[in-house]
Amino acid sequence: MQKILLIGNPNVGKSVIFSRLTGVDVIASNYPGTTVEFTKGYMKIGKEKIEVIDVPGTYSLEVTSKAEEVAVEMLKQGSSIVINVIDSTNLERNLNLTLQLLKRDIPVIVALNFWDETKHRGISIDVAELEKILGVPVVAICGRTGEGINNLVNRLHEAKSKTFEFKEDEKWHEIGNIITHVQKLSHRHHTFLDRLTEISIRPLTGIPFALIILYLTFKTVRFIGEGLTSLFDPFFNNYYLLFISKIVTNIFPVKFLQDLLLGTTPKVMESFGLLTTGFYIPFVVVLPYIFSFYLVLSVLEDIGYLPRIAVLLDVALHKIGVHGYTAIPILLGFGCKVPGMLATRILETEREKIIATALILMIAPCMPQTAMIVGLVGHYGSKYLILIFLILFFIAIVNGFILNKILKGETPELFVEIPPYRIPYIPTLIKKLWIRLKAFFMEAVPLIILGVFIVGILDVLEITNFIANILGNPIVSILGLPKETISVMILGFLRKDVSIALLTPFNLNIKQLIIACVFLVLYLPCIATFFTLLKELGVKNTLKIIFIMLFTATFVAILLNLIL
Amino acid sequence: MDITQMKEGEKGKVIEIQGGRGLVSKLDSLGIRPGVEITKISNQLLYGPVVVQVGNTQVAIGLGMARRVIVEHK
């Protein structure tokens, strides 16, 4: 035995089981389409090291989206065992895939997940009988608490293939027979979560409900973000700065090195020293917002609220050429554009993906950039912040309208499963938050520090002035910004939060700040986003999207310069 | 009648899917096929998607697709 595939319908809890088996942390949420790419991990049974693969969910082995394509492809490559994960509260529908799997020449073992939920849903399943009928081991488990996982592992070697013969056109008849044999339903009362389900999906109550959630989300993110920043800031200024200055001046008596490490002015946001601004931006300004945003997002994800937004926004999003489920990639993009773009894999057509990607990139800044904008513009008053966000929102929508008209093709209709509300399980919630924060520490923080370092070097060597003198004139005349901001635009490609931070020393007035912020959000994707774009959409589409962004940014900035 | 015409909370039995193989198998994958009982959960404003319950699953279906799912009263 060398390789195990975890296969099942979307949103049956494969990723949680994967984490349990391998100890590898992957993001799991309560909506279909969380996993769009396979993840590999290893588990040990005795002395044997076995590869385990978490496969994106699929309803059948007939491909309709890229995520499903991955599943079928993995199956074709062969494997020693398939663990077919089933949502035991939806046995009938899930058995469809099970029977298809049993036709293949790969040993199968069935894991009945969400076993704990069957009780209060009034469902009772005769596991032994199901096992007898299917001819393969069936194990009841609860992924989030880990109940039954050991049993599953112990019985892996019993997995069998081709144990259930049936004719394709009698598939549902067979499934119906199985269900009458193994499943009993008893009446149950409406619960609070059932009521909430109805309230949040019916438009008359659902739309106000969504607006309240949205408002609370923004309030909470800002409250926690600002709170943490004001907690970290004094610590940084009163202790860390003094400490690090002393150390650096003692160890490196060379002015050039001191300027590079500590910057040239004592103001932390203007000095651009590697150890001052280079740490202040990621840890004091950005981290609090990353933390608060992902905390709120993770709670909403695990409750299962996001697909409801997709349903409510479907009509509106169809007007700009995508269906409602695009709301989820867009929301993920508020945090970071990269996971947002990966999530577009659940969309069926390339046309939708292009429109969705343009929307994700333009509708709002990513959370690090948002944090910097709030830090820089916030003290002029919230109304300017709101103005910046409204301008971006409006531009993205207009852009969507235009793309919808230009790009040929139709928008597929929404067709998606809406998961039941679930009460978030705190350990998995914390784990998910940690995965996302870790990604920020490992991938973003080094880039931020590198960005600050490059700015410092260019500044010390006076290259910034040199470039500004050569290329700066259009910036002054068209955008109304100081010519030195050209360096900001060149470096903004590296990290978008750093690009906003770079504006601080220029002492721009509020009009210039608004123009600069809007321009820097729109003009180019950051380097990480750029490579994701290439991977997801190819060179041609990437160039198209970059052209659209650059053109829109310039056009809007000129317009704002004229009317503000 | 099709499922867009059902009232909220109303139950019905699917008798026909008016569409090609693609549509039939797409609906089939989420358990919507002739013979099954479904409950209407909601309509959205301005011709938005309808939400129905099949077994323990709630499914949102775009209007055009929903109009092709024919049901009879239970």
In this prediction the pTM is: 0.88
pLDDT at A358: 93
Percentage of residues in chain A having pLDDT higher than 70: 99
Strand ranges in A38-182 using DSSP code E only, listed in sequence order: 39-45, 48-54, 81-87, 108-113, 123-125, 138-140
Chain A residues near residue B39 by CB distance under 8 angstroms? none
Cα separations (Å) of A467 from A388, A450, A488, A499?
28, 20, 11, 16
How many C-beta neighbours within 10 Å does residue A491 have? 18
Residues A93 and A50 in one domain: yes
- Say what the ipTM of the complex is: 0.93
Whole-angstrom distance, CA of residue A380 vs CA of residue A517: 14
Domain assignment of residue A309, given as a range: 201-563
Whole-angstrom distance, CA of residue A90 vs CA of residue B31: 10
* pLDDT, tens digit, 9 for 90 and up, residues A83-126: 999 999 989 889 999 998 998 888 999 999 999 888 888 889 99
Residues A149 and A213 in one domain: no
Q: Which CATH superfamily groups domain B3-73?
A: Ferrous iron transport protein A (FeoA) (2.30.30.90)
Whole-angstrom distance, CA of residue A306 vs CA of residue A311: 9
Q: Is the pLDDT at A350 greater than 90, yes or no? A: no
Q: Is the pLDDT at A278 greater than 80, yes or no? A: yes
CATH code of the domain covering residue A162: 3.40.50.300
pLDDT at A1: 59
8 Å CB contact of A417 and B59: yes
Does A191 map to a domain? no
Conformation bin of residue A322: beta by default, left when phi > 0, alpha when psi is -120 to 50:
beta
Residue A314 Cα, gap to closest chain B Cα (Å): 6
Of the partner residues A96, A203, A416, the one whose CB lies closest to the CB of residue B60:
A416
Torsion, Cα of B3, B5, B7, B11 (10° steps) = -40
> If you average pLDDT over every residue of chain A, what do you get?
87
pLDDT band at B47 (very low <50, low <70, confident <90, very high): confident
Q: Choosing among A413, A421, A422, which should be mutated to test the B contact, i.e. which has the most B CBs within 10 A? A: A413
Does residue A296 contact residue A221 with C-beta atoms inside 8 Å?
A: yes
pLDDT at A228: 93
Domain count, chain A: 2
Interface residues on A facing B, Cβ-Cβ cutoff 8 A = 59-60, 62, 64, 89-90, 92-93, 96, 121, 123, 172, 197-198, 201-203, 206, 307, 310-312, 314-315, 323-324, 412-418, 420
Total number of residues shown for chain A: 564
Residues A258 and A114 in one domain: no
First to last CA, chain A: 68
Chain A residues near residue B63 by CB distance under 8 angstroms? 413
Does A19 map to a domain? yes
Residues A125 and A230 in one domain: no
Percentage of residues in chain A having pLDDT higher than 90: 37
Residues A155 and A276 in one domain: no
Single residue among A136, A155, A185 that ends a domain in this structure: A185
8 Å CB contact of B60 and A198: no
Average pLDDT over residues A303-315: 90
Q: Is the pLDDT at A266 greater than 70, yes or no? A: yes
Single residue among A150, A185, A220 that ends a domain in this structure: A185
Of the partner residues B35, B55, B60, the one whose CB lies closest to the CB of residue A311:
B60
pLDDT at A546: 93
Residues A63 and A117 in one domain: yes
Q: Which residues are within 8 A (CB) of B26 and not within 5 positions of it... i.e. 6 or more apart?
A: A64, A415
Domain boundary assignment for chain B: 3-73
Of the partner residues B41, B57, B60, the one whose CB lies closest to the CB of residue A414:
B60
Whole-angstrom distance, CA of residue A182 vs CA of residue A110: 15
Does A443 map to a domain? yes
Whole-angstrom distance, CA of residue A449 vs CA of residue A426: 33
Of the partner residues B29, B55, B58, the one whose CB lies closest to the CB of residue A60:
B29
Q: How buried is residue A215: exposed, middle or buried, by Cβ count under 10 Å (0-12/13-18/19+)?
A: exposed
Residue B61 Cα, gap to closest chain A Cα (Å): 5
8 Å CB contact of B43 and A203: yes
More confident residue, B49 or A121: B49
Q: Side-chain half-sphere of A227: how many Cα atoms within 13 Å?
A: 8
Whole-angstrom distance, CA of residue A417 vs CA of residue A187: 23
Residues A158 and A206 in one domain: no
Residues A278 and A173 in one domain: no
pLDDT at A450: 87
B31 to chain A, any CB pair closer than 8 A? The answer is: yes
Whole-angstrom distance, CA of residue A282 vs CA of residue A229: 11
Residues A181 and A205 in one domain: no
Whole-angstrom distance, CA of residue A152 vs CA of residue A4: 12
Whole-angstrom distance, CA of residue A429 vs CA of residue A21: 18
* pLDDT, tens digit, 9 for 90 and up, residues B9-40: 899 999 999 988 888 888 888 888 888 899 99
Nearest of A69, A75, A67 to residue A5 by alpha carbon: A75
Average pLDDT over residues A119-139: 90
Cα separations (Å) of A299 from A15, A206, A339?
17, 19, 17
Q: Side-chain half-sphere of A158: how many Cα atoms within 13 Å?
A: 15
Residues A293 and A178 in one domain: no
* pLDDT, tens digit, 9 for 90 and up, residues A362-407: 999 999 999 999 988 988 988 999 999 999 999 999 999 999 999 8
Closest CA in chain A for residue B42: A202
B29 to chain A, any CB pair closer than 8 A? The answer is: yes
Q: What's the CA angle centered on A342, arms A28 and A437, to 5 degrees? A: 55
pLDDT at B70: 92
* DSSP strand pairing (A138-140 vs A108-113): parallel
Q: Is the pLDDT at A461 greater than 80, yes or no? A: no
pLDDT at A159: 86
Does A193 map to a domain? no
Residues A373 and A262 in one domain: yes
* pLDDT, tens digit, 9 for 90 and up, residues A481-539: 887 777 778 777 888 888 888 888 788 889 889 999 999 999 999 888 999 899 888 99
Residues A241 and A141 in one domain: no
Quote the tokens at residue A301: 């994800």
Quote the tokens at residue A116: 């704990």
Average pLDDT over residues A295-323: 91
Chain A residues near residue B41 by CB distance under 8 angstroms? 198, 201-202
Does A485 map to a domain? yes
